[in-house]
């Protein structure tokens, strides 16, 4: 997700023209801080959200694969809403999912469009109907596993674990038996979902770091 500083500044300009009530409040060598309000106008499942939200956005500009962070500062999001971290940041999606999405570089306008705006839509929908319009991502280890369930198109925990281990650690062989346990050749089974990790080292590294994290966390309970 490496972008140079000029690229990020150019993206911030675009973001500010898309959301004219956002302003740069602070900018240094490592981050750009934005604050103000964003207008969200979204319609899905016969429900419409049309509302301004006060937010603070922190955009990292130094190296790293750190994603932007956003807080809602207008006290709209209820204190007991589960998808907000203790420090007030909004829980938009798993790191895994967003890092894979922006593997070729962060796109701030897309980040707003695909994660931030749907977050507020989901919040309003949840508040109104008591359920999530696009499903709900669990947190911590469950959240990571759940992300890979989506990626590998499986709902089974063991299957997902086997596929993740393969994606992170094995050399891809289409004629090998699929690690999911089906007995079918990989290329005719989950191969197409694993192949991107074999072809792109950056994606593989995400799988490796997730697998390491899962193993480390699980070892705490041994
Ligand atoms: Zn969450
Ligand atoms: Zn399979």
Q: From the CA of 95, which ligand is nearest?
A: 1
Render pLDDT for 136-173 as a digit per residue (tens, 0 to 9). Answer: 999 999 999 999 999 999 999 999 999 999 999 999 99
Ligand 1 centre to CA of 136 (Å) is 8
Q: From the CA of 92, which ligand is nearest?
A: 1
First to last CA, the chain: 35
Ligand 2 centre to CA of 180 (Å) is 4
Phi, psi of 76 (to 5 degrees): -85, -45
Cα 122 from Cα 83, distance rounded (Å): 10
pLDDT at 172: 96
pLDDT at 3: 67
| pLDDT of 64 strictly over 80 | no
Cα 5 from Cα 162, distance rounded (Å): 39
Ligand 1 centre to CA of 131 (Å) is 14
Cβ(91)–Cβ(85) below 8 Å: yes
Structure tokens at 59: 């955009």
| pLDDT of 65 strictly over 70 | no
Render pLDDT for 167-205 as a digit per residue (tens, 0 to 9). Answer: 999 999 999 999 999 999 999 999 999 999 999 999 999
Cβ(173)–Cβ(194) below 8 Å: no
pLDDT at 61: 86
- For residue 35, with 0-12 CB atoms within 10 Å meaning exposed, 13-18 middle and 19 or more buried, which class applies? middle
Ligand 2 centre to CA of 178 (Å) is 5
Structure tokens at 124: 């309003």
Q: From the CA of 174, which ligand is nearest?
A: 2
Cα 39 from Cα 120, distance rounded (Å): 10
| Eight-class DSSP state of 114 | I
Ligand 2 centre to CA of 76 (Å) is 44
Q: What percent of the chain has pLDDT over 90?
A: 88
């Amino acid at each position: 997700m490496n972008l140079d500083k000029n690229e990020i500044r150019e993206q911030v300009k675009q973001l500010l023209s898309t959301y004219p009530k956002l302003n740069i409040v602070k900018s240094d060598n490592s981050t750009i801080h934005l604050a103000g309000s964003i207008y969200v106008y979204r319609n899905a499942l016969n429900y419409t959200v049309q509302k301004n939200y006060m937010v603070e956005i922190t955009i990292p500009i130094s190296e790293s694969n750190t994603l932007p962070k956003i807080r809602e500062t207008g006290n709209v999001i209820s204190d007991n809403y589960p998808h907000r971290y203790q420090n007030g940041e909004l829980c938009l999606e798993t790191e895994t999912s967003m890092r894979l999405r922006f593997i070729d570089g962060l796109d701030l306008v897309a980040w707003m469009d695909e994660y931030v705006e749907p977050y507020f839509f989901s919040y309003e929908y949840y508040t109104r109907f008591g359920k999530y319009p696009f499903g709900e991502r669990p947190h911590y280890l469950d959240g990571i596993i759940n992300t890979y369930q989506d990626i590998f198109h499986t709902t089974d925990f063991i299957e997902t674990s086997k596929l993740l281990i393969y994606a992170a650690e094995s050399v891809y062989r289409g004629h090998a038996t699929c690690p999911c346990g089906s007995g079918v050749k990989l290329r005719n089974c989950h191969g197409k979902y694993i192949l991107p990790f074999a072809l792109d080292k950056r994606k593989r590294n995400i799988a490796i770091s997730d697998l390491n994290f899962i193993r480390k966390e699980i070892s705490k309970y041994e």
